Amino acid sequence: MSRRASGLRAWLWQRLSAIYMVLYLVVAGGALLLWPPVSFDDWRASVATPLASVTTALFFGSLLMHAWVGARDVLIDYVRPFAPRLLLFVLLGLMLIGSGLWILKILYFLQMDG
Amino acid sequence: MDMRFSIYRYNPETDAEPCMQDYQLSGITSGMMLLDALKRLKAQDETLAFRSSCGEGVCGSDGMNINGRNGLACITPLATLKQPVALRPLPGMPVIRDLIVDLDNFWRQYREVQPWLVREDPIPEVELRQSPQDRDRLDGLYECILCACCSASCPSYWWNPERFLGPAALLQASRFIEDSRDQATEARLDRLDDAYKVFRCHTIMNCADVCPKGLNPSQAIGNIRQRMLKQFV
């Protein structure tokens, strides 16, 4: 059964990303509380492990996906004329893609230097 | 007892813009409904326009905004209302005159969900039978009288009335999706899956709050999403 990206799929991604973000925050927050890093280098080493990098990258991926669906909902509701809506969609998309690349860059350099 | 009313008046043919007109009514007795008062006000001022028919909450003709809340005038006791009673047409809908709104778009959205049984198999000579359990699934859905109180209280419907179907039509969509005798469930769910028809609902729940029949369109919309999800995975 094919489902259109704008309908059920968007709604489903929004919910799945929310669940992942909650799980990540609980687990990552819990780990920080239970095993607090003793120094900056210690903290850097712990976030540069492959497991932490991948789960953190997935967290930010979920955040961007969630933000896209949510902001898109707001634009669909309130911005009716085509031209301003398209412009805002493009700006939103660029901002989210830019944020994603920036996050990847940070995670990549953490790996390299760590 | 006397009661004061402030009623939205607008005749697009003669008035530049709408205004609120004050009325006073004496001889209010206990147990009187708002519709009774409106009928007596109309006897005083026959230019006052509103819809009504059965007078007992079955036909859904006299939906209006009563002190800021959508409801049926015929089943709203005057004793429950703060004075002056502010009466306005259902919000978000074009006004034809005074408390009468244009429901064309509301009915178009209702037709859009194909509110009838679709059968692929030949229609049998006898009735289509249902188990009591299957029949129970229609409870809370079939009772809708299409008064439009819910759709006219829904911000998502105010914003996108042409493309979001609105709570009333979606409750009816759910009524036929849940019907064991219907054979177009999959096609119905496919037709509803886009960014607008169902998914403009943000579960604000004004619909369930104002429904004069105590129904819950919000829950029906949730059920449609669940059916879509089950079909998808």
ipTM of this predicted structure: 0.82
Looking at residue A113, what is its pLDDT?
Answer: 66
Q: Is the pLDDT of residue B61 over 70?
A: yes
Looking at residue A2, what is its pLDDT?
Answer: 52
- Asked if A10 is an interface residue toward chain B (Cβ–Cβ < 8 A), one would say yes
Looking at residue A6, what is its pLDDT?
Answer: 81
Q: Count of domains in chain B?
A: 2
Among the partner-chain residues B159, B194, B231, the one whose CB lies closest to the CB of A7 is B194
Specify which of A20-29, A47-56, B120-129 reaches the highest per-range mean pLDDT.
Answer: A20-29
Among B35, B68, B101, where does a domain finish?
B101
Other residues' Cβ atoms within 10 Å of the Cβ of residue B167 = 32
- Asked if A15 is an interface residue toward chain B (Cβ–Cβ < 8 A), one would say no
Q: Is the pLDDT of residue A112 over 80?
A: no
Q: State both tokens at B82.
A: 């703060």
Beta strands in chain B, from DSSP E residues, in sequence order: 3-9, 19-25, 63-66, 69-72, 85-88, 95-97, 100-101
Based on the domain organization, do B89 and B155 belong to the same domain?
A: no
Q: Is the pLDDT of residue A3 over 90?
A: no
For A29, the domain range is: 3-111
Contact flag A77-B156 (C-beta cutoff 8 Å)? yes
Among B101, B118, B149, where does a domain finish?
B101
Q: What angle do CA B95, B97, B103 make, to 5 degrees?
A: 45
Instruction: Report chain B residues whose CB lies below 8 A from the CB of A73.
Output: 202
The lowest-confidence range among A102-111, B80-89, B100-109, B173-182 is A102-111
Q: Helix and strand tally (H, E) in chain B?
A: 8, 7
Cα torsion B177, B183, B187, B191: sign: negative
For B70, the domain range is: 3-101
Share of chain B above pLDDT 70, in %: 100
Contact flag A12-B232 (C-beta cutoff 8 Å)? yes
Provide the mean pLDDT of chain B.
96
Query: Distance of CA A109 to CAs A43, A51, A63, A101, A114, Å?
Result: 14, 16, 21, 12, 8
Residue B192's pLDDT band, with cuts at 50, 70 and 90, is: very high
Among B74, B101, B128, where does a domain finish?
B101
Based on the domain organization, do B220 and B127 belong to the same domain?
A: yes
- Asked if B186 is an interface residue toward chain A (Cβ–Cβ < 8 A), one would say yes
Min distance A36 CA to chain B CA atoms (Å): 40
Length of chain B: 233
Based on the domain organization, do B141 and B216 belong to the same domain?
A: yes
Instruction: Answer for the pair B182, B227: CB distance below 8 angstroms, yes or no.
Output: no
Please give the backbone phi and psi of residue A81, each rounded to the nearest 5 degrees, phi first. Answer: -65, 145
Report which of B133, B130, B147 is spatially closest to residue B76, judged by C-alpha positions: B147
Based on the domain organization, do B17 and B88 belong to the same domain?
A: yes
Q: Count of domains in chain A?
A: 1
- Give the mean model confidence (pLDDT) for residues B203-226: 97
Residue A1's pLDDT band, with cuts at 50, 70 and 90, is: very low
Q: Is the pLDDT of residue A114 over 70?
A: no
Looking at residue A44, what is its pLDDT?
Answer: 86
